[in-house]
Amino acid sequence: MSLIDRPRIAFIGLGVMGRSMALNLLRAGYPLDVHTRSRAKAEPVLAAGASWAERPADCLREAAICISIVGFPAEVRQVYLGSEGILASARPGSLLIDMSTSEPALAVEIAAAARARGLAALDAPVSGGDVGAREGTLSIMVGGEAADFARARPIFEVLGRTLVLQGPAGSGQHAKMCNQIAIAGTMIGVFEALTYAHAVGLDPETLLASIGAGAAGSWTLTNLYPRVLRGDFGPGFFAEHFLKDLRIARAEAQQRQLRLPGLALAESLYQTLIERGGAQLGTQAIYQVLSEPDA
C-alpha cells in the first residue's frame, strides 16, 4: 500500500498504549484525527501531525477506519453506543476496531449493532505493554469476520508483530482474558521469587542471569523484574486496569462454573495494592504487596 492509499483513521484514546500506537501509525503515513479526554495527552501526537477532534463523533467525519483504546467497559459502551458515539457517527462502510480490553459480551453487542448500521467491527485487544506499543511489536488478538480482519491487517502490521484472528466477535476479548490469567500467575511467581531472593541474601541481578535464561524465563521476568530493581513502579500498564481485566475474567469463569484459584489470588492481591493507593502504578507494583504484606 502506497502512502497515497492509506485511509484516514479516527483514533480515540491516547493513554500509555494508545499514544505510542497512534505515533506509529503517523510514522507509517496514515492521516489521523484524534480524540482523548485530556487534550494535554494528545500533544505529542498532534505535534507529529495528527488533527484534533473535540468529540469522538468529530473524528468520524472523514475517517474510513476508527480505532479506540480506552480504559473500562463503561467507556467503551459510551464511546460506541452513546447518542453521539461512534456507531451513530461513522460513515457507511466504515471499519471499527476496538483495541481496549473489555467484556466479550459487549464486543458481540457492538458488532451486531455495527452490522445493523452497515458498518464492520472487530474486537482487537493487545498484549505487550508500553514497550510493545512503542516498538510496534504487540500481540493483537482479534474477534470478528475474516474479511474485516484482512481489511485491518495492514494497520495491525504497523502496530504489532503477532496478528491472530481468534474467531467471531468477542473471541479477541476472550483470548485477552486467557492472556491476563496467564500473566497474573506469572506476575505472582516472578515477584515472590524476588521477595525470596532478598530474604536469603541473593543478588537479584545475578539471579536474573540464571533464571531468566532457564525454564522460568518470561516477558514479566525480562521486562518488569528489572524495573522493580530500579525502583521503577511507573505504569507500562495501570494496576487498576489490570484489576479490571481480572474481574472480567473472573466473571466469565464464574458463568462457566470454572475454578481458577490463581486468578482469584491475583485479583485479591491487586485489590490490596489499589486499596493502598496503587491504582496508577504499574502492574509490577504487586511486588510491594508481596514483599510488605502487612504494610
In terms of domains, do 138 and 188 share one? no
pLDDT grade for 74, boundaries at 50, 70 and 90 = very high
283 has a pLDDT exceeding 60: yes
83 vs 164, residue with greater confidence: 164
Considering the domain architecture, whether residues 245 and 142 belong to the same structural domain is answered as: no
Check which CATH number belongs to the domain holding 203 and give it: 1.10.1040.10
Minimum mean pLDDT among 3-7, 98-102, 248-252, 278-282: which range?
Answer: 3-7
pLDDT score at 295: 64
Catalytic residue among 19, 35, 174, 176: 176
Residue 93 · residue 64 · CB < 8 Å: yes
Using CA atoms, how far residue 63 sits from 23, 58, 92, 151, in Å, is 17, 10, 11, 15
> Where is the domain boundary, 112, 146, 168?
168
- Whether the pLDDT of residue 1 is over 70: the answer is no
pLDDT beyond 70 at 145: yes
Average pLDDT (257-271) is 97
> In terms of domains, do 188 and 126 share one?
no
Non-local CB neighbours of 178 within 8 Å, separated by 6+ positions: none
Q: How confident is the model at residue 223 (pLDDT cuts 50, 70, 90)?
A: very high
Active site residue 41: no
Q: Which of 225, 214, 217, 196 is nearest to 283 (CA)?
A: 225
Mean pLDDT of 36-47: 92
pLDDT confidence of residue 84:
86
Band (pLDDT 50/70/90 cuts) for residue 221 is very high
Range of the domain at 218: 174-291
| CA count, 13 A, side-chain hemisphere, 263 | 20
Gyration radius from the chain CA atoms = 20
With helix as H, strand as E and coil as C, how does the chain read? CCHHHCCCEEEECCCHHHHHHHHHHHHCCCCEEEECCCHHHHHHHHHCCCEECCCHHHHCCCCCEEEECCCCHHHHHHHHHCCCCHHHHCCCCCEEEECCCCCHHHHHHHHHHHHHCCCEEEECCEECHHHHHHHCCEEEEEECCHHHHHHHHHHHHHHEEEEEEEECCCHHHHHHHHHHHHHHHHHHHHHHHHHHHHHHCCCHHHHHHHHCCCCCCCHHHHHCHHHHHCCCCCCCCEHHHHHHHHHHHHHHHHHCCCCCHHHHHHHHHHHHHHHCCCCCCEHHHHHHHHHCCCC
Domain boundary among 168, 199, 234: 168
Across all residues in the chain, what is the average pLDDT? 95
Residue 293's pLDDT band (cuts 50, 70, 90): confident
Question: For a pLDDT cut of 90, what percent of the chain falls above it?
Answer: 91
102 and 35 in a single domain? The answer is yes
- Total residue count of the chain as it appears in this document: 295
Same domain, 109 and 210: no
Read off the pLDDT of each residue in 96-124 and give the average, rounded to a whole number: 98
Asked if residue 2 has pLDDT above 70, the reply is: no
pLDDT of residue 3: 55
Q: What is the mean pLDDT of residues 254-273?
A: 97
Name residues whose C-beta falls within 8 Å of residue 284's C-beta, 6 or more positions apart in sequence. Answer: 187, 191, 220, 224, 225, 227, 228, 232, 233, 236
The total of structural domains in the chain comes to 2
